[in-house]
Structure formats: C-alpha cells, structure tokens
Structure 1
Amino acid sequence: MTSEELSNYSELVRDPNLRLTLSFGIGLHHAGLRETDRNIVEELFVSQKIQVLIATATLAWGVNFPAHLVIVKGTEYYDGKARRYVDFPVTDVLQMIGRAGRPQYDEQGIAMVYVQDVKKNFYQKFLYEPFPVESSLLAVLPDHLNAEIVAGTISTKQQAVDYLTWTYFFRRLLLNPSYYGAEGLEKENLNLYLSSLIETAIRSLEQSRCVEVDEDRRTLFSRTPGRIASYYYLNHKTVKLFLDRLSVSSTVMDLLLILTSVPEYDEIPVRHNEELINSDLAKQCVVKFDQSVYDDPHVKTHLLYQAHFLRLTLPCTDYETDLKSVLDQSIRIVQAMFDITAEQGWLATALRTINLLQMIVQARFVDDPPLSVLPGVDVYAARRLCSRCRVETIPQLMEECRRDRNFLLRSSQGLLDPSQVEEVLLTLSRLPVIGLTASVDGRVPGKGESSKRIVPLSSKAYLTPSLKAVTNGCLYMLKKNTSSPLRFVDLFGSTNERRAVAPKFPKAKDEGWFAIIGSVETGELLAVRRVAPFERQTSTNLLLITPPKACRVIYTLYIMSDSYIGLDQQYELYLEVGDPRPDKAADGEEDLSTVEALKGQYGIQGND
C-alpha cells in the first residue's frame, strides 16, 4: 500500500488505535469498532494491502477471511461471572484454525495454537480426532418445560418425560451417560434418571411460581408469571426475582437495581482489570457501590445504565459494545416487570416501571427537565430554555413553535446554534400530539336516556404540564362490571411516523402507549391496555371492573408513552357506581337534588 493510499484510508478511520496500527500494515477487527472502520479493515485485508490482522474470536464465526497463517494466541479468556480465566469452547478454536489456508493462493494453510503445556495433549486429541458435540439442554431445562407447558404441549409430568426422549439430549445420553451423570442405561435406571430431571425442573418452576402442580401431583398448569416469562423469553428466575423484590413502594431507582440484577445480565463481560475502570466510572454516577463488587457483571450493568441516563462518554469501545448488549435486552425485561406489577395491581409501581422504560429509550433520568430529551439540549440548556421560554413541557413548546416558527430560534440564542434549532424543530414535528375523548356504558344523572359518549375530556389537555389532573367537572353513573370504551384522537392529524424518536437507543423502536385506569385513593391498578402508535380515530376498549357495592369513586385515566418523557397525560373520571334508579318521568327528568348533592360532595361546580 502506497503512502498516499495509507493517508487516504487513515483520514477515513475514526478509531485512533486502528489509525496507528494501519501505518505499520497491521489491522484491528473487533465488535467495538465502528462499522465503517471494520469495512475498511476488511477491504484492506482481502485486497492484501495489509498482511496482518489482529481479530477477536468472533471474527471466525461472522466473516470468512482466510489467511495463509493463523495464530491462536491463547485458548483462555477472562469470565467475569466465574471471576477467572476459562477455556474457549473447542468449537471456537476449530473455527479459528479453520481460517488457515486461502484456496485461490495456497496449497496448504498453517495454524498455530499457543496453549499451556498441560493442555497440549488435550488439544492434540480433539484436533486430530472427532470431538463429540454434547447437549446443553439440562442447564435450561426448566425454561424449556415452562414454554411447553404454557403452549399446552405438556400438561403432565409423564408428557414431560416423553418430551425429553425426543431431544438431542436423550440421543447423547444413550451414547455418553457418564457425561450427564446417569448411572447406567438399564431401563429402570434410565426412567428414574429422567423422572428425577423432570421433578427437579418442575420444582424449580413451582418455586418461581411459574407452574402449579395439581393435587394428583401429575397434572401441570401454567400460572401468570410463567406465561410472562415464556412470552418475553425470560429465565424463570427473572420473574421470581420480580415477585420477590418488587413492592407497592418501589421507587424508580429500586426498579433499576432490580432490573440490573436479573439472570439475563449474568453474562455481561467483566474483563481483566475492568473493576478499576468500573470504579472510576462510578465516581461520575449517582448510585455508588462498595469497592469490592466492581468486578460483578450486575454492578457493571448498573453503571452502564447510569452512564446511559447521564449520557457520559464511556471509557472505551468495549464499554460501548457492552452497553449495546445491555440495552438490546432491556425492553422485554422492563415490559415483563410492568406485567408483573400490573398483575399485582400496584398502580404507582406500574407507572414508575413505565418511567424506567422511558428513561432507557430517551437516555435521561425521569426527573431531568423534559426538554433535555431534545437533540443538542443538555440538562443545563433545558433549564435555561424553560426559564426563557416560560414553558416546562415538550407539548407546550410544540404549541408555541406551531404558532411562531421563530419562537425557539429567538429563545435559544446563546444556547443552540441555528442548525441545532432546525434539528429540534424537526424532532418536534415527528412527536405525537394527542387529544382524548372517552365513553362509558352509563348515564348522566338528570338525563333519562343512556349514553355511550358521556365523558368528553378536555381537548386542550396536551397544553397542561405532564401528569397534571384535567377534568371536565361532571359526574357520571356507571353500572357494575362495565366495559369502558376509550377513543383516542390525534388532534392535528397523524405524523405518519411510527418509529420513536430515540437517537440514543441502539436500535429502531416503534412508539407505543399504555392506557391505565387506577384509583389514586387505594393505589390500585384497575385496568390496562397497550395501544399501538396513534393514528387518526384510534380506538381501544378497557374492561373496567367496578366495585361490587354501590359507591362514589374518582378513577384516574393515565395515557403513558413507552418511549417519550414528558408526553404523558392524566384525566380524572367522577363515577357513581351502582344500579341507576328508573326515571321518575317519561320525559327523562330526574330528581336533581341528588345530582347536586353528589356534585357538592366532590366540589364540582356548574352543569354538564
């Protein structure tokens, strides 16, 4: 490669270490590189403009780059979970040495494996002789059984034993019983061994409250936590952790700690000496940990989440890769957490779980200024903008910019440059603006006829600060066990944009909403429904199970975004629950003294 070519490629490379090694004809290839940098390295190596490529083991699986000589520099890696160096899987070593030899250039390839002398005979044996592939089913057997029980494929313990006989595990068990701890292949011993495996797995699922065993000790039934684990493809221990540690008083930071403790994050790598990096990173974070736990993968996960919310610069590209791995799993785990809290009927905890979901998508703490989620606007600039513009929420800013497009440009002088203002305006144009009307199967006191559309909610609700109560000041009568159809209307028309605006989230995500009805007085979540991205005249129904006795209640309707901070809405519904009395007059007139008494109790002024 000529010096001119080297200079051209160096200008395109973003990673400083790669730029340095390329000048010596050496390329680097790992997951922490930007995609453009990896493409440049691949192009240079394939075209033989560089002769040496230093790569991670995953390159042998993902990309086919044969070389005349392959050197495997060691067969161990540091496992943060085990807190020691462990051997590479033999399949990885085979893949790496399999890259030796270029069919179009070489008659033979050379592979060199650097290994400890005590392991030399082992690697010689598996390199020159067929090496069996064993089953890994036993480590995840409870989760497999849970999924099959939820699907209805397995409903008894005997069916679970039969299920095992159709797996690859059973085939290997017959050929290599000692590897799996079986005492022999006699029919009686084999049946006892398989039955003990099923009993142990079912016992684990029972302890996790995923499965219920009937009184006959043979029939199996799935429970709600088990269905949640199966739906979100989670470890059964994860839902057990949620059931054990979630509570009605859990704060957002409590939820974050629970989230980072799930088994799904057991495999987050803590490399050699990364506990020192974690300690330095923790100094910039809000939540601190004891110095002795910085080599724990769950502590590292917690620090990565905090760095994400604070939008900190991560110490190296490995941490960027780890953060992406953490966030890739976050949505399904938090949604499962929400389902558990909703099943328990904990209103406040369910709302905080949605707040945590918003934090993850927008990379901000929920108590940060709402304007700080806009591009180019940090927390300091957001506070200054709120002061200058006299707006506190994104919907208020959207309304001001709709009236006067230059409003933001004037108000942000010294904080944002014109290009950043244009980017903010583009983002605002993509955000959803919703208004809401609702109807219930009830009747308005003082009117003889029943009405479906009797809860006209404020059409200007989007102008109020987030989570500020908005009511129309009316009282409505509702029968027991009534279904309440809610209609959502986009006031200014659809933006035709289903993707959430989330530049800090590593992958594309569709925006979604939660419709929740709860009682603030009792703290109970009464009904919940997930709603797809809003379009014009989007409708959804909530089945609201009212109290069994006649009473007067105030329920609160929450419209919560799963992607945006600061766009949530809250409405109050005043309801009289019971069996309405028949009309006193044929023309539908009713004793209005009762109505006035009810309004007086709630402090409601005026008429409907």
Structure 2
Amino acid sequence: AMLDISADQGWLVTSLRITILIQMVIQGRWSTDNALLTLPHMTPYHLNCLRPKGGEGAKRKGTALPRGPIRSLPELLAACDGRYETLLTMLDGEMDRMQIDQIYTVIGKLPQIQVNLSIKGWWEGGEGQKDIRIQNSTDGGRRPDSDWIQVHADQEYVIHVDLVRVNKTKRNDSKAQTPRFPKPKDEGWFLVIGEIENREVIALKRTGYVRGRSRQQLAVYTPETTGRVIYTLYLMSDSYLGLDQQYDICLDVIPASIESQVNTELVGELNDLDMDGGE
C-alpha cells in the first residue's frame, strides 16, 4: 500500500526506499547488513574467509572480482559459477561439510537475472511500429552517440523488459530463501522506471517468479520538451537484499509528430477493443 501511494505521487526516492524496506522485512535484516549474511550458517566472522582463488569464474561471467574478500552476493555467484570446489576451498576448515553443502544449495537457487531492454513505438515516416534494442548502459560515464535513441516529444512508447533466469531451477522451486520470515515466500520483482534528475517515477510494475524467460511491458510518456533525457530502469527484488539491478535508458527527444501520435492512439484504441471483446 505504501508503494502504491508513493508511486502514484511520482516519488522516486521514496518508492525505492519502500522496496528496500520490503526486502528488510522479508529477510529480517537491516539494509546496512552485508547481504552475504542471508546465506545459512554465515556469520560476520566467515565473511573474511570468502576470498576468490584465481577468479576464473569471474572471467567467464564478465565480472571483475576484488583482490580482497568478497563483499556481495553477485561477487560470490560469479566466483563460484556453479563450481562446488570453489566454495569448499574458501570455507573448508571454517565450517563442516554439511553446512557448506547447504550454503552451496542456496547459492544455486538465488535468482541470477539477465536483463534485455527495447523500446517500441511509432516514428515519423515509418511504415509501422518499430522495436529498437536499448544498450544496457550501467557505468554512468559519458554515453556514446549510439546509446541515444531518438523519440518524439509528448508521445507514448512501450519499454519491453526481457528477464532471463540464467541459473536453472526445478519446476516448483519458486520459494525465496527467507529463514526469518514466518511463512513461505515466492520470489517476485518490482520494475521501476524513474527519472533521477526530477526524482520522478515514470512507470512501475510488479512481476512474479522468473523461471526461464519473462517479457514485461511498461508504458512511458516522453517529455514535452526536446533534448536528451535519461530514464533509469530499476529491477528490485521483493525478497532479497543485494540483488537489485539498474539500467539507463538514454532518450534523445526530438519534436513531436502528429502522424506518430495518431498512430499510437489508434493502436491503443484497437488494443482496448480487443481486451473488451469488441470488433
């Protein structure tokens, strides 16, 4: 309810903080705690034992691991990369084999989600709707011109978010690792599109457990003024601390087009008729 009210008011920072509050309630931990403590039998003492040996798993995952101890769940997932021996080498002598086995089982079930983005809509002079892939920019540095997608001002577009679960799970294994929550909890996700400069929520959607692949759609309206603007997609877990992701959507807003606006409205009306069973 808090998230619905906050998103309806367009409060981006508040909405993101509420999602983190949800994560804290589910995990029974503060957001300032190390997310690795989510793992069974893991204590602050054991955190210093998690040091990668060689980092071959990180090379295959494309993730740079630190020279010192592993400090986050994504770093541990990249270091292990499906190899039990890596975890055993780090924790052998600090835990018994049964405890290490339980940790490895939980690591294998943690959601590893790959995100692909595209934007669909009408452009002036086009022969139909186009679906343009969005480069997954996450570094926050200077953007090359190829990252910027031209869109018309004051027009509705649809952001397609493809969620692909990299790690395979069993068919009925949708429950999150929540040892401090009083009942079983299914994994779920919040998709939030916001504009950081104005601290405004542009779109929000909730989706459930991602087993293999899931395509979500979020409608967004472009600004009325021309110029470059960056929207940011936040993929927020509703169960885990430390597994959130964010991606920038770089838009180059060009003057409005009556032709493309009319086409967009016609498609919207036809979709509404289909949903209502009209002809």
- With structure 1 as the length reference, what TM-score do the two structures score? 0.36
Distance 1:536 1:470 in 2: 32
| CA RMSD after TM alignment | 2.9
Q: Report the alpha carbon displacement of residue 415 of structure 1 after superposing the two structures with TM.
A: 3.5
Query: Shift of residue 550 of structure 1?
Result: 1.9
Taking every aligned residue pair, what percent have the same amino acid on both sides? 33
CA contact (8 A) 1:362 1:563 kept: yes
Assess, with a 3 A threshold, how the Cα gap between structure 1 residues 471 and 538 changes in structure 2: closer, same or farther. Answer: farther
Q: Distance in 1 between matches of 2:143 and 2:209?
A: 26
Structure having greater relative contact order (Cα 8 Å, sep ≥ 6): 2
Match of residue 577, structure 1, among 242, 253, 262: 253
Shift >4 Å, 4+ stretches: 386-389, 447-450, 468-473
Aligned partner of 1:352 in structure 2 is: 17
After TM superposition, the structure 1 = structure 2 runs for residues 326-337 of structure 1, keeping only pairs within 5 Å, are 336-337=1-2
Tell me, yes or no, if structure 1 residue 537 matches structure 2 residue 213: yes
2:170 equivalent to 1:489: no
Alignment partner of 2:201: what SS? strand
Q: Cα distance, 1:398 vs. partner?
A: 1.5
Q: 1:378 aligns with which of 28, 39, 43?
A: 43
Q: Distance in 2 between matches of 1:368 and 1:493?
A: 28
Distance 1:532 1:469, change over 3 A: farther
Residues in 2 aligned to 1:575 and 1:352: alpha-carbon distance in whole angstroms? 26
Query: Which structure's CA Rg is the greater one?
Result: 1
Is the CA contact (8 Å cut-off) linking 2:187 and 2:208 kept in structure 1? yes
C-alpha distance 495-353 of structure 1, shift in aligned 2 (>3 A) = farther
Q: 1:377, 1:546 → 2: CA distance? A: 46
* Cα 1:470–1:493 shift into 2, 3 Å: farther
Higher share of residues assigned strand:
2
Structure 1 residue 390, shift from structure 2 partner: 3.6
Q: Which string of whole-angstrom CA distances, capped at 9 and with x for unpartnered residues, describes residues 462-493 of structure 1?
A: xxxxxx75998511112322222222122344
Uncovered stretches (5+) of structure 1, i.e. residues with no partner = 1-335, 462-467, 582-608
Closer, same or farther: CA 574–354 of 1 in aligned 2, 3 Å: same
Q: Does 1:422 align with 2:87?
A: no
Question: Relative to total residues, which structure has the larger helix share, 1 or 2?
Answer: 1
Residue aligning to 1:165: none
Aligned counterpart, 1:478: 151
Mapping 1:29-68, distance limit 5 Å = none
Q: Aligned partners of 2:97 and 2:41: how far apart in 1?
A: 11
Offset of residue 419 of structure 1: 1.6
Aligned residues: 236
Paired residue secondary structure (1:406)? helix
1:521 paired with 2:203, answer: no
Secondary structure of 2:81 counterpart? helix
Does the 8 A contact of 2:121 with 2:129 survive in 1?
yes
Q: 2:228 touches 2:253 (CA, 8 Å); kept in 1?
A: yes
Deviations 1:197-222 (A, max 9, x none): xxxxxxxxxxxxxxxxxxxxxxxxxx
Partner of 1:553: 229
Q: Deviations over 1:209-239 (max 9, x none)?
A: xxxxxxxxxxxxxxxxxxxxxxxxxxxxxxx
Equivalent residue number for residue 598 of structure 1: none
Matching residue's letter, 1:487 = D
Partner of 1:82: none
Change (3 A) 1:350 1:508: same
Can you give the 5+ residue segments of structure 2 that lack an aligned partner in the other structure?
A: 52-65, 258-279
CA deviation map 1:52-100 (0-9, x unaligned) = xxxxxxxxxxxxxxxxxxxxxxxxxxxxxxxxxxxxxxxxxxxxxxxxx
Asked if 2 retains the 8 angstrom alpha-carbon contact of 1:553 and 1:576, the reply is: yes
Partner of 1:148: none
Whether the 8 Å contact between 1:441 and 1:478 is mirrored in structure 2 is no
